[in-house]
Structure 1
Amino acid sequence: MADQKRQVKRTTRAERREAEAAAARARAEQAAKERKQQTIIGCIVVALIVVLVAIAGFFVWRAIQPSGDDQSSAQSVDEAYTAMQQVELKPAKANDKAGFVISKNGYDDKVKDAPTVAIYMEPLCPGCASINRQLDPTLIKLMQAGQLNIELHFLNFQNNKSSDDYSNRAFNGAIYIAEHDDDPEHLLEYIANIYAEDFQPGELSNYTPTDNTKLEEQAVKAGVSEEVAAQAFSGDNEYVEWLTASNNYTIRRPELFNSSGNFSSPTLTINDQYWKTTDVSLADMTLVDGFLKSIGLDADQVGKEGAMPSIGADGKPISLTE
């Protein structure tokens, strides 16, 4: 009887050890399984992070690239000029440097002996909007009185800072208006409308989608006929190829480079001479006063026919800092 009891005890202890060993194996297997799952999850997380970083990097890269078809920085200004001339559909009113000249006589008919201010602008550019709001009312008064010629240059290099090709659409429409509306003041008013503080969209993450209907409304408000405005923003965008080619040419013109050796907007020239808007601040002047001094005209002469700027049609801008 005693031997049988001892045998039962030994069997019970063996079974208990076997059960404990089995439990330990099960725990080890479960731990290994959990480690494998955590490794897989970790790999997935790392992969997602890599993808997200790549996507973010792409959009940052895209935001700083020119929007033109030819993004090669190696393209020379002469090659860009040739490419612009080879575009099949070119606006008839643009000159050989892609400018639209406006005077009191209309398009492409400069007033003799009057200086010419050229304005290089991009529709999403906040600085261009600021220049327009401050300076253009005075420029228009001077132009209407025959004291100044205005030359407009349209750019689209910030088109990729919008989500819906805003720069292409806004300035394709401007070119169409110039070609099909004989009153240049309608074009100037349209530009003022799209640069207005309560209209101009932001850039990149601050951009507000702006459809053609809204642009068409600004054109009609500027005096453009409903028929011309509707066609300007019909979606055909027939001048975008030329707009892009002229943009690529303009941004490579060394005479338009700033002190850092690059092109930036807004850029203004007076009688083809680069005008440093930064000198206005250095001289502690308003933009209007600085411009008037640069062309040699007193403020009380603005809008008076016959009172001509002293630099004439060929003189250099008068320095504001000397």
Structure 2
Amino acid sequence: MSDPKRQAKRATRAERRAAEEAAQQARAEQAAKERKQQTIIGCIVVAIIVVLVAIAGFAVYKAMRPSNTSSSSQQSNMTVDEAYSKLKKVSTQPANADDKAGFVISNKGYGQKAEGAPTVSIYMEPLCPGCASVNRQLDPTLVKLMNAGQLNIDLHFLNFQNNKSSDNYSNRVFNGAIYIAEHDDDPDHLMSYLSNIYAEDFQPGELSNYEPVNNAKLEKQAVKAGVSEDVAAAAFSGKNEYLDWLTASNNYTILRPELFNSSGAFSSPTLTINGEYWDLKQLTLADTNMVDGFLKSIGLDADQVGVEGKMPSIGASGKPISVAS
């Protein structure tokens, strides 16, 4: 083979190697480019997920914050005195409510206390599961005590979870309760209505678990409680004449420091006995049920419940007895 031929073959092999190396380099550059694109896409996806999670978290936060649909809804920078002033300025005031926005009931009716009897104040919200639990466990005993003149009950209606429903449930339920308190002279009817609202087969869930409840269903619960059909129909006619007062009383109540829990905030349910905060947590610590714990706190034996003349030992002004002692 002549030198020119060998040179030609060598040149051909060199060209092939160069071509192969160029192809390999091109493939490597393409792979690097694809990896870079995938990295960029991954970063974008992660950023989108972060944004979506942040949006979802904010939505949940907003949903869980107490708020009302009324124009006089809660203001975080409002003082308790300012909130009280706004409450007193509401044009439509329920006549049976006292100066602390409570409805005091006894065996004497509205606005009157049985002499020598302690007063239990109950601060409740219609969508609150804890409020329903207290109602189901304790209210039958409270009603017996009240009707025997052994206890006064002070009811406070709140609507700060109204936004956890899709149809202003809390507003409608307790505007109706206030209407009943104003137009039905029998406190037992109001207590029965509350029990019907908190019944396990009636109380709706919250947020995504909420199912709409129309006024006709609420009206039915009132009639079942003994409220006349005319009063029940008016209570749930949709006028909501006490809504401004309900919201203003709610905003005042949740700012009252004497009602704050151990964490320094208001929560529902809240109960006081003769104005003293009654901590439900003590029942768990004392390993006792709610009825026994309450009776011990007011100083009354279980076999004395509903017996006229058998009065709780703490009377109308004594502090509740510790269930842990």
Q: 1:193 to 1:281 in 2, by over 3 A?
A: same
Between Structure 1 and Structure 2, how many residues are aligned? 288
Q: Deviations over 1:35-64 (max 9, x none)?
A: xxx9xx999989986885565344313222
User: SS state of the match for residue 308, structure 2?
Assistant: coil
Please give the residue correspondences for 1:240-279 in structure 2 after superposition, counting only pairs within 5 Å.
Answer: 240-279=243-282
Per the alignment, residue 63 of structure 2 pairs with 63
Alpha-carbon distance between aligned partners in 2 of 1:219 and 1:297, rounded to the nearest angstrom:
32
**Amino acid across the alignment from 1:67:** S
Alpha-carbon distance between aligned partners in 2 of 1:296 and 1:207, rounded to the nearest angstrom:
40
Superposition deviation, residue 320 in structure 1: 1.1
User: SS state of the match for residue 102, structure 1?
Assistant: strand
Per the alignment, residue 104 of structure 1 pairs with 107
Alpha-carbon distance between aligned partners in 2 of 1:53 and 1:282, rounded to the nearest angstrom:
39
**Amino acid across the alignment from 1:198:** D
Per the alignment, residue 178 of structure 2 pairs with 175
Q: Does 1:119 align with 2:122?
A: yes
Q: Which moved more, 1:256-265 or 1:52-61?
A: 52-61
Superposition deviation, residue 264 in structure 1: 0.4
Q: Does 1:293 align with 2:293?
A: no
The share of aligned pairs that are identical, in percent, is 75
User: SS state of the match for residue 153, structure 1?
Assistant: strand
Q: Does 1:90 align with 2:93?
A: yes
Q: 1:296·1:311 contact (CA, 8 Å) conserved in 2?
A: yes
Alpha-carbon distance between aligned partners in 1 of 2:43 and 2:197, rounded to the nearest angstrom:
49
Match of 1:220 among 196, 218, 223: 223
Per the alignment, residue 190 of structure 2 pairs with 187
Superposition deviation, residue 281 in structure 1: 1.3
| TM-score normalised according to structure 2 size | 0.83
User: SS state of the match for residue 153, structure 2?
Assistant: strand
Per the alignment, residue 156 of structure 2 pairs with 153
Q: Deviations over 1:165-191 (max 9, x none)?
A: 100010000000101111111110000
Per the alignment, residue 73 of structure 1 pairs with 76
Alpha-carbon distance between aligned partners in 1 of 2:279 and 2:46, rounded to the nearest angstrom:
50
| TM-score normalised according to structure 1 size | 0.84
**Amino acid across the alignment from 2:62:** R
Alpha-carbon distance between aligned partners in 1 of 2:173 and 2:166, rounded to the nearest angstrom:
13
Q: 1:54 to 1:227 in 2, by over 3 A?
A: farther
**Amino acid across the alignment from 1:283:** A
Q: Deviations over 1:204-248 (max 9, x none)?
A: 111111111111110010011111111111111111111110000
Superposition deviation, residue 131 in structure 1: 0.3
Pairwise CA RMSD: 2.3
Q: 1:62·1:160 contact (CA, 8 Å) conserved in 2?
A: no
Q: 1:182 to 1:76 in 2, by over 3 A?
A: same
Alpha-carbon distance between aligned partners in 2 of 1:254 and 1:128, rounded to the nearest angstrom:
20
Superposition deviation, residue 283 in structure 1: 1.0
Alpha-carbon distance between aligned partners in 1 of 2:255 and 2:104, rounded to the nearest angstrom:
21
Alpha-carbon distance between aligned partners in 2 of 1:321 and 1:49, rounded to the nearest angstrom:
50
Q: Deviations over 1:4-31 (max 9, x none)?
A: xxxxxxxxxxxxxxxxxxxxxxxxxxxx
Q: 1:231 to 1:46 in 2, by over 3 A?
A: farther
Q: 1:65·1:71 contact (CA, 8 Å) conserved in 2?
A: no
Q: Does 1:283 align with 2:267?
A: no
**Amino acid across the alignment from 2:233:** A
Superposition deviation, residue 280 in structure 1: 1.1
Q: Which moved more, 1:185-194 or 1:52-61?
A: 52-61
**Amino acid across the alignment from 1:61:** Y
Per the alignment, residue 319 of structure 1 pairs with 322
Per the alignment, residue 200 of structure 1 pairs with 203
Q: 1:118·1:150 contact (CA, 8 Å) conserved in 2?
A: yes
